[in-house]
Amino acid sequence: MNTPKSNRSKGREVKAATWTVRHPGAALTPAALLTSGIELGWTTTGGILGGTAVGLCGWYRAHPDTFDYLAAPRMRAWRRRWTAYLGPRWNAALRACDLYTTHRKTGDEQFPRIIKVRAYSPTVDTLHLKLAPGQHAKQFEDKLVALADTIRVERIAVERVKPGVVGLVIERSEPFTETIEAPEMPYHAESVDLKDIYVGETEFGADWRLAVLGQHTFIAGATGAGKNSIPMSLLRALAPMIRDGLVRLWLCDPKQMEFAKLAGIAHRYADTDEKCADLVTEYVDDVRRVQQEFAASGNRKIDVSQDTPLNLLVIDEIGALLAYGDGTIARQMRKDLAIVGSQGRATGHSMLAMVQEPTKDTVPIRELFTQRICLRVTAASHVDMVLGDGTRLKGAIADEIPNIGETAGIGFVIRQRTRVPLRVRAAYVTDTEIDELVVFVRSGWGPVGSHLTAVA
């Protein structure tokens, strides 16, 4: 039998007791200080507090790595919970954005309750909210811009944690204020994990890593957005494997700009539409060859070695080849690249492509890319084209990244587990560091051209 709903709301003393149970620290901390003062004396209690403060300051100064990893996030989260997200202030912001419900009988306002606050970095907070009856995550998606402006923060993204609970990723200020240095090149090939390569940082201050083996990567960004920083960072990490013949680099470079420097270390290099088409055709032939070898030997996945290397096809400005050039060449390349995208992962044939205009007309095979990165773009619709439907509503505002040099390399990816937009920044690789990459790779080679077949 269902209990009928009363027209009376809970008493204030019951609400206060419930709040105390949910926030035991608010009652236990003053009680512990009072007990210590009475039992041990106020001088001793003050000495304990002072010693604790001195110990924390010493830890802060002496070992920044452990302090920033263990202590700082907890101290930040506690401070933000009782300042920025204090109940009345937070509820006022939700009320202004119409993110609450009203009890039908009693008229009481019901607000989402904060159940967890995390602050892993100085600029980004994560809040878990228990939704009020009748609410759902889509309501927050529709109000993210209004809520961000109301609480005076840069950006808010939303995720559905579990039934009845949503998570808000609150970017309080710009997390990327300095250029990230280019990744170091490991000397030994054994040091490289093809499924975990560092290319930059996330908004939480953690490493941003990408996979090359078994993945195809799609990078969209307007002119000057910093697209080339990502493949250059990947290639610096892969340098010892390229040197040792464990990775073969295939380059399509119709722009003939930054990647022209890498022609001397590429297995194949092409710089015109016709030569790029020939290169891609040869790449597909190599996919077929490995498939036949696998079928004969019974292999189901590649074991990277000099006999079966990882083949990486890099295409700078894929739109110039698939949409803007000769129609006959474009049709053949679309067919060949579709084969690579659908069949190449198992044989160790990965591709990485960059484009300025990520529309379906420009890149009809974009759905075959398994890793997608959206840097600064010129239209809001481009965000969903790259990252998936609805991602801009969830907080991936790549079209609002300022068109200035300081924002190069900043963009968004999708966290695979939660499908929430994650703000990232790629490391910046200078021309000098590209030259270092070339010298490093060639240092392990024999006479010039002994490992090289270049078409230019």
Same-domain pairing of 154 and 213 = no
Distance CA 407, CA 425 (A): 9
Give a yes or no: residue 451 inside a domain.
Answer: no
Asked whether residue 235 falls in the same domain as residue 164, the answer is no
CATH number of residue 117's parent domain: 3.30.980
Give the residue from 150, 185, 191 showing the smallest Cα distance to 168: 150
Q: Give the model confidence (pLDDT) of 16-27 as tens digits.
A: 666 556 555 556
> 447 pLDDT exceeds 50?
no
Would the pLDDT of 453 be above 50? no
What would the mean pLDDT of 153-169 be, rounded to a whole number?
Answer: 89
Predicted local distance difference test score (pLDDT) of residue 181: 92
Asked if residue 17 belongs to a domain, the reply is no
90 contact partners, CB below 8 Å, separation of at least 6: 111, 114
pLDDT (tens digit, 9 = 90+) per residue, 64-101? 778 777 788 888 888 888 888 887 888 999 999 999 88
Q: Is pLDDT above 50 for 237?
A: yes
Domain identity same for 156 and 196 = no
Regarding whether 200 and 144 lie in a shared domain, the answer is: no
State which of 171, 205, 223 marks the end of a domain.
171
Q: What is the pLDDT of residue 454?
A: 35
Q: Are residues 148 and 208 in the same domain?
A: no
Q: CA 67, CA 246: separation in Å to the nearest integer?
A: 40
Secondary structure of the chain: what % helix, strand, coil (to 5)? 40, 20, 40
Confirm whether 7 is domain-assigned. no
Domain for residue 452, yes or no? no
Residue 7 has pLDDT above 60, yes or no: no
269 and 348 assigned to the same domain: yes
Of 104, 138, 171, which marks where a domain is finished? 171
> 75 and 211: one domain?
no
CA Rg, the chain, in Å?
Answer: 28
Q: Are residues 158 and 258 in the same domain?
A: no
**pLDDT of 202 above 50:** yes
Average pLDDT, the chain: 85
Whether residue 179 is contained in a domain is answered as: no
- The 3-state DSSP class for residue 419 equals coil
Q: How confident is the model at residue 351 (pLDDT cuts 50, 70, 90)?
A: very high
- Kindly state the tokens that stand for 441: 């790779």
Q: Supply the pLDDT for residue 121.
A: 84
Give the pLDDT confidence score for residue 251 in this predicted structure: 95
Q: Is residue 10 part of a domain?
A: no
* Buried b / exposed e along 409-429 (16+ C-beta atoms within 10 A): bbbbbbeeeeebbbbbbbbbb
Q: Which of 174, 117, 164, 121 is nearest to 140 (CA)?
A: 164
Strands 109-110 vs 217-220: parallel, antiparallel or unpaired? unpaired
Give the residue carrying structure tokens 């990567």.
217
For the question of whether the overall pTM of this predicted structure is more than 0.75, the answer is yes
Rounded Cα–Cα distance for residues 29 and 40 (Å): 16
Asked if 165 and 230 sit in the same domain, the reply is no
Q: For 136-157, how does the pLDDT look when each residue is reduced to its tens digit (9 = 90+)?
A: 888 888 899 899 999 999 889 8
Q: Are residues 203 and 325 in the same domain?
A: yes
Residue 303 maps to which CATH number? 3.40.50.300
- Domain count of the chain? 2
Domain shared by 118 and 246, yes or no: no
Cα 113 off chain centre by: 28
The DSSP annotation for 29-76 comes to HHHHHHHHHHHH-HHHHHHHHHHHHHHHHHHHHH-HHHIIIIIHHHHH
For β-strands 310-315 and 247-252, DSSP reports them as parallel
Question: Helix or strand or coil: residue 351?
Answer: strand
Q: Three-class SS of residue 276?
A: helix
State the residue for tokens 């610096």: 236
Pick from 52, 172, 190, 99: nearest CA to 423: 172
Task: Decide if 184 is inside a domain.
Answer: no
Residue 281 above 50 pLDDT? yes
Question: How confident is the model at residue 41, as a pLDDT?
Answer: 74
Return the closest-CA partner of residue 413 out of 229, 208, 273.
208
Domain hosting 322: range is 189-442
Per-residue pLDDT for 199 more than 90?
yes
Interatomic CA distance for residues 412 and 407, integer angstroms: 12
**47-51, 227-231, 356-360: least confidently modelled range:** 47-51
The position carrying tokens 């402006």 is: 149
Say what the pLDDT of residue 451 is. Answer: 39
Q: Is residue 390 a part of any domain in this protein?
A: yes
Over residues 336-357, mean pLDDT? 92
Q: Are residues 212 and 340 in the same domain?
A: yes
At residue 393 the predicted structure's pLDDT band, cuts being 50, 70 and 90, is confident
Last residue of a domain, one of 126, 141, 171: 171
Could you give the CA distance from residue 430 to residue 177 in angstroms, rounded to a whole number?
A: 18
